[in-house]
């Protein structure tokens, strides 16, 4: 299940401390990273303020896997236990976490195709020097399968298998494509049925005089638990 049943923007330091206190375990919808992945030592983010291609690909592979599976939360900046499955243990703040979250958001939108709708990033500053935790909340995508575009033209699809992120086989990609298509077809069929019902209702409620009428039908389809609207300048209500 997702890490916290609350809007991402409302998660604060106390929530993260409670997460560690409860030893929240990694599962198919929750992944922890103590730091940015690195082949050796610390990632270049700590010294040069840039995310290495290796760390970028490892993090975005997790994002793609969540989108192609059940959705989930990826948290960077919390140490985990050595148990199987691992659990949140303590905060391990990452430098300039707000900038890190923004960079990861930009890279996710440029390196993942098609782009994942409603993908959100959030930084929780836990220390006075600006270090803290970066969180990426990934919805279960209706545009799956998504793939990660890596260096040298490599494009790979990933999915979540228990607590692991694994590459998808061609058969799994095909099955996911057909499954998503069937879901879209069912939504279209449902909307067409509502349209027919609306027309029948309008025809059954005609008036004796020759008056043209306008019938408005509105259908709402849930998109995700979080709804985020980009700021619209000049319109105070929005």
Tokens of 99: 């900038």
* Bridge partner residues of 88 (DSSP): 80
Tokens of 12: 């604060």
**pLDDT of 228 over the 60 cut:** no
User: pTM of the prediction?
Assistant: 0.78
Can you give the C-alpha Rg of the chain in angstroms?
Answer: 22
**CB within 8 Å of 120: residues ≥ 6 apart:** 8, 136, 137, 226, 228
**Percentage of the residues of the chain whose pLDDT score is greater than 70:** 84
Q: Quick: pLDDT tens for 101-124.
A: 999 999 999 999 999 988 999 999
* Bridge partner residues of 33 (DSSP): 76
Quick check: helix, strand or coil at residue 10? helix
**pLDDT of 81 over the 60 cut:** yes
Total residue count of the chain as it appears in this document: 238
Please give the pLDDT value at position 99. 97
Mean of pLDDT over the chain: 87
43-57, 75-89, 204-218: the lowest-pLDDT one: 204-218
Give the mean pLDDT of 206-217. Answer: 68
Between residues 205 and 233, the one the model is more confident about? 205
> Between the CA of residue 68 and those of 28, 77, 97, 146, 223, what are the distances in Å?
12, 24, 26, 6, 15
Give the mean pLDDT of 51-56. Answer: 96
CA distance linking residue 109 with residue 222, whole number of Å: 22
Please give the pLDDT value at position 1. 47
**pLDDT of 85 over the 60 cut:** yes
Between residues 232 and 5, the one the model is more confident about? 5
CA distance linking residue 66 with residue 53, whole number of Å: 20
Q: Give the max Cα distance, the chain.
A: 82
Instruction: Quote the crossing angle between the two packed helices 53-68 and 97-111, to the nearest 10°.
Output: 70
CA distance linking residue 131 with residue 138, whole number of Å: 23
CA terminus-to-terminus distance, the chain:
31
Between residues 6 and 37, the one the model is more confident about? 37
**Percentage of the residues of the chain whose pLDDT score is greater than 90:** 62
Which H helix or E strand runs over 114? none
């Amino acid at each position: 299940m997702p890490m916290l049943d609350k809007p991402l923007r409302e998660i604060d330091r106390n929530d993260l401390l409670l997460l560690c206190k409860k030893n929240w375990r990694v599962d198919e919808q929750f992944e922890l990273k103590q730091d940015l992945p690195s082949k050796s030592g610390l990632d270049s983010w700590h010294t040069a303020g840039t995310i290495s291609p290796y760390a970028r690909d490892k993090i975005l592979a997790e994002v793609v896997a969540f989108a192609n599976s059940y959705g989930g939360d990826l948290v960077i900046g919390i140490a985990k236990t050595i148990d199987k499955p691992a659990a949140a243990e303590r905060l391990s703040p990452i430098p300039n976490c707000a900038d890190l979250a923004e960079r990861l958001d930009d890279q996710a939108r440029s390196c993942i195709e098609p782009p994942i709708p409603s993908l959100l990033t959030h930084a929780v500053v836990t220390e006075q020097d600006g270090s803290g935790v970066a969180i990426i909340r990934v919805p279960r995508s209706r545009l799956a399968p998504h793939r990660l575009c890596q260096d040298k033209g490599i494009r790979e699809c990933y999915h979540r298998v228990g607590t692991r992120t694994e590459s998808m086989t061609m058969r799994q990609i095909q099955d996911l494509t057909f499954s998503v298509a069937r879901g879209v077809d069912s939504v279209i069929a449902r909307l067409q049925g509502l349209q027919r019902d609306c027309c029948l209702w309008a025809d059954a409620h005609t008036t004796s005089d020759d008056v043209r009428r306008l019938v408005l039908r509105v259908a709402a389809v849930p998109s995700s638990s979080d709804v985020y609207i980009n700021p619209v300048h000049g319109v105070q209500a929005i």
